[in-house]
Structure 1
Amino acid sequence: MKIRRKRPEIVKTQTVAAAIRRKEWICLIIALLFAFPSSGNAQCEAKNDAFKSGEHVMYELYFNWKFIWKKVGLASLTTNSTTYHSEPAYRVNLLAISSKEADFFFKMRDTLTSVMTEKLEPRYFRKGAEEGKRYTVDEARFSFRNGMCYVNQKRVRKDGSITETEQSDNRCIYDMLTILAQARSFDPKEYTIGQRIQFPMATGRRVEEQTLIYRGIKKITAENDTTYRCLIFSLVEYNKKGKEKEVITFYVTDDRNHLPVRLDMHLNFGSAKAFLKSVSGYRHPQTSIVTK
């Protein structure tokens, strides 16, 4: 199926955001750190001013169990140079693994891979997800012609069944990791507290509208005992009556690296958090550090 949507805009009115599925929360919340819409007829190119090849970020994952926070796993985000169809590109990998103790309740082995040009234009996305008893592989391939962005998506399930779709938009369609890469290079200083931001994203089965709200600036202490000055964003969804529900709160360093320090997840089955554990290979000085 093919769907055309309006040009992106920063909106002040409520819209219905796609609901986050219970078993897909961990990769989505790390990948959707914050996002800003790009303008132009499906022009996805952007200047990379935030990261370089060799960056490696580690997170510790926690879940609230009977009012006690328990460590349930680790996640890593790595960026390296590669080639795609004989052209220089970036390969970004996100890996999320639950601990052996957590596997007893819910096993998670998720691997996300995104290939994008050096101008951060999406080319290929893959997500392999083993979550509980479910295993799926999602793929998305992006192309651009006549001022439109096209994405061919395929989902393969554990039983071998396949679902394929094609959608188009006159805006850029992002995958979970390309939106992260582009957003890290934008300057959020022009945004005002309470401002809503929308963008389309390929999920493996469809293209969904996402909504974020800018909340302001706050000092946050990470698991590495370092305090950072952070930008705060919230991913929200709306019910059929238009009532807003906050799903995830992001704390991102207020410097040119724009690294996520902490993520708070407000889930249907409890609360979860992801904390920055370590980072190496970052591109710019960490000017957001308040104390160390």
Structure 2
Amino acid sequence: MKHFSTRILLAIVMTAAIAATGRAQCGIENKAFKSGEFLYYDLFFNWKFIWVKVGTASMSTVKSTYDGRQAYRTSLITRGNNKLDKMFMMRDTLLSYCTDDIVPLYFRKGAREGKRYYVDELWYSYPAGKCHLKKHRIENDGRHVWKDSEYKDCIYDMMSIFLRARNFDTGKLKKGQTIPMPISDARRLSNSWLKYIGKETFKMEGSNDKYRCLVFSFIEREDEKNHELIRFYVTDDVNHIPVRLDMFLSFGSAKAFLKGYKGVRSPMTSKLN
């Protein structure tokens, strides 16, 4: 169960992204969201052929300051309910600060997953046109692990890549196209990418709401094999909000469905009713 929470978090914050190179390209004009946006999700797990609600997730984006400069402060909180707690404790909080043009500044993840608790932190700087990451991890046994890494390309975390990705023009994507995903945590840089599946109309579970969606598959290469981790559906409009997430786990499958939203920047033109 140890990857269940991480998979849910990653799924919710992923839409579509294109790897950027060079310091000048780390930023992007924001047209997809505004301060005061809130997204809410219900989480489900397939238990003995029955889909059972096991928790909730919520994401907020507001204007704030970081190190004396204006920034977007984005947080994501997942909470398992009593049914999930009997199998696996899940209490996770992610926090991210980015500039107005979505250049990452700081990232933190505090995660209680089962009996394990750990913290990941990233501090970003950009000396000489490169991307420098100061990494800090607090292990379950209380050990503090520090590491510095520098890259010639722009690197993102699970939160900042979401904000950046929502501002890409996905209308130019072709079926089967793959897109590199430069995502790091305090341990490593992942070897992962997106594959564009195509467009589909999705009817929300438990309601009559329908959405025109772009469908993507998130793939990671590990142990010399490619693994599809997530298939997700995002609104086919300028908001690019995930409305459905299918997660493929070693012990089963899980889903997340958009329950509600407020404060979105643009009309949800992908909603069909």
Deviation at 1:42, TM superposition (A): 6.4
Q: 1:234 aligns with which of 202, 211, 217?
A: 217
- The answer to whether the 8 A contact 1:42-1:149 is kept is no
- Give 1:191 shift: 1.2
After TM superposition, list the pairs within 5 Å mapping 1:199-278 onto structure 2: 199-223=181-205, 224-238=207-221, 240=223, 242=225, 244-278=226-260
SS in 2 for 1:64: strand
Structure 1 vs Structure 2: percent identity of aligned residues? Answer: 46
Give the conservation status (yes or no) of the 8 Å contact 1:153–1:164.
Answer: yes
Match of 2:93 among 111, 136, 139: 111
Which residue matches 1:65?
47
Q: Is residue 2:66 matched to residue 1:93? A: no
Matches of 1:209 and 1:215, distance apart in 2: 20
Cα distance in structure 1, aligned partners of 2:32 and 2:165: 9
Question: Gaps (5+ residues) in structure 2?
Answer: none
Write the distance in 2 (CA, Å) between the matches of 1:239 and 1:147: 30
Give TM-score scaled by structure 1 length: 0.89
Picking from 22, 35, 44, the partner of 1:53 is: 35
- The residue correspondences of 1:10-159 to structure 2 (distance < 5 A) are 21-41=3-23, 43-159=25-141
CA distance in 2, matches of 1:135, 1:75: 19
Take 2:106 and 2:176, find their aligned partners in 1: how far apart are those partners?
A: 33
Q: Relative to 1, partners in 2 of residues 1:272 and 1:49: Cα closer, same or farther, differing over 3 Å?
A: same
User: What are the superposed Cα offsets for residues 117-139 of structure 1, whole Å, 9 maximum, x if unpaired?
Assistant: 11110000000000100000110
Unpaired runs of 5+ residues, structure 1, are 1-19
1:41 to partner: Cα distance: 4.2
Query: What secondary structure sits across from 2:39 in the alignment?
Result: strand
May I ask how many residue pairs the two structures share in their alignment?
271
CA deviation digits over 1:211-264, x for unaligned, max 9? 11001100012245310000000011345555x432100100000110000000
Query: CA–CA distance in 2 between the matches of 1:272 and 1:143?
Result: 36
Query: So what's the TM-score if we normalise by structure 2?
Result: 0.95
Give the residue type in structure 2 aligned to 1:283. Answer: R
CA-to-aligned-CA distance 1:172-229 (integer Å, 9 cap, x gap): 1001110000000111111110011102111121222321100110001224531000
Q: Could you tell me how far apart the structure 1 residues matched to 2:4 and 2:37 are?
A: 29
Deviation at 1:86, TM superposition (A): 1.3
Q: Deviations over 1:75-112 (max 9, x none)?
A: 00100000111111000000000001210111100000
Shift of 1:162: 1.3
Q: Distance in 2 between matches of 1:240 and 1:157?
A: 23
Q: How far apart, CA to CA, are the structure 1 residues paired with 2:263 and 2:159?
A: 18
